[in-house]
Amino acid sequence: MKEKKFLIIIGSIVFAIAVGLVGLSFKLKSRNQIKLSAVEVHQMITGKEHYFDPNQLSEIIDQSDSDVLLIDIRTPDQFINYHIVGAINIPYQRILDKEYEEILDDDRTKILYSADEVKSAEVWTILRQLGYENIFVLQGGLNFWMSKIEKKDIFGPVTLDDEKARFDFKKEINPQ
Amino acid sequence: MKSRVLLTIVIVSLSAIAAILPQKKNSSVQLSADEVLQGINLGTYKISSDQLTEVIINQDPSYMLIDLRSASEFEDYHFPGAINIPFDSLFTENWIMYIDQDLRNNIFYSNGGSLAGQALVLTRQRGFKNNFVLEGGLNEYFDKVVNAEEPPGIADAQEHKIYQRRKAAQQYFKGGEALPENDTEIMIKPIPVRKKKMVQGGCS
pLDDT tens string B97-109: 999 999 999 999 9
The reply to whether B78 falls in a domain is: yes
Structural domains in chain B (count): 2
Would you say how long chain A is, in residues? 176
Average pLDDT of the residues in B136-155 = 92
Question: Which residues in chain B are contacts of A95 at CB distance < 8 A?
Answer: 37
Q: List the CATH number of the domain containing B111.
A: 3.40.250.10
Same domain, B71 and B125: yes
Q: Answer yes or no: do A121 and B34 touch at CB < 8 A.
A: no
Chain B interface includes A115 (CB < 8 A): no
Residues of B with CB below 8 A from A42's CB?
90-91, 119, 122
pLDDT digits (tens, 9 = 90+) for B166-179: 998 888 887 644 44
SS3 B154: coil
Do the Cβ atoms of A169 and B90 come within 8 Å?
no
Q: Are residues B132 and B157 in the same domain?
A: no
ipTM of the complex: 0.83
Pairing relationship of beta strands B83-84 and B63-67 according to DSSP bridges: parallel
Query: Å from A65 to nearest chain B CA?
Result: 32
Please tell me the distance in Å from A122's CA to the nearest CA on chain B. Answer: 5
pLDDT tens string B38-86: 999 999 999 999 999 999 999 999 999 999 999 999 999 999 999 999 9
Range B96-100 contact pairs with CB under 8 angstroms and sequence separation of 24 or more: B98/B64, B98/B66, B99/B66, B99/B123, B99/B128, B99/B131, B100/B126, B100/B127, B100/B128
Alpha helices in A63-158, H assignment, sequence order: 76-81, 101-105, 118-129, 141-144
Q: Say if the Cβ atoms of B20 and A8 lie within 8 Å.
A: no
Q: Give the burial string for B85-114 (b: 16+ CB within 10 Å, else e).
A: bbbeebbeeebeebbbeeeeebbbbbbbbb
Residue B48 sits in the same domain as residue B130: yes
A93 and B37: CB-CB below 8 Å? yes
Is residue B24 included in any domain, yes or no?
no
In a domain, B72, yes or no: yes
Pair B37, B123 in one domain: yes
pLDDT at residue number A29: 56
Domain residue limits at B175:
152-198
Instruction: Give tens-digit pLDDT for A32-84.
Output: 899 999 999 999 999 999 999 999 999 988 787 778 999 999 999 999 999 99
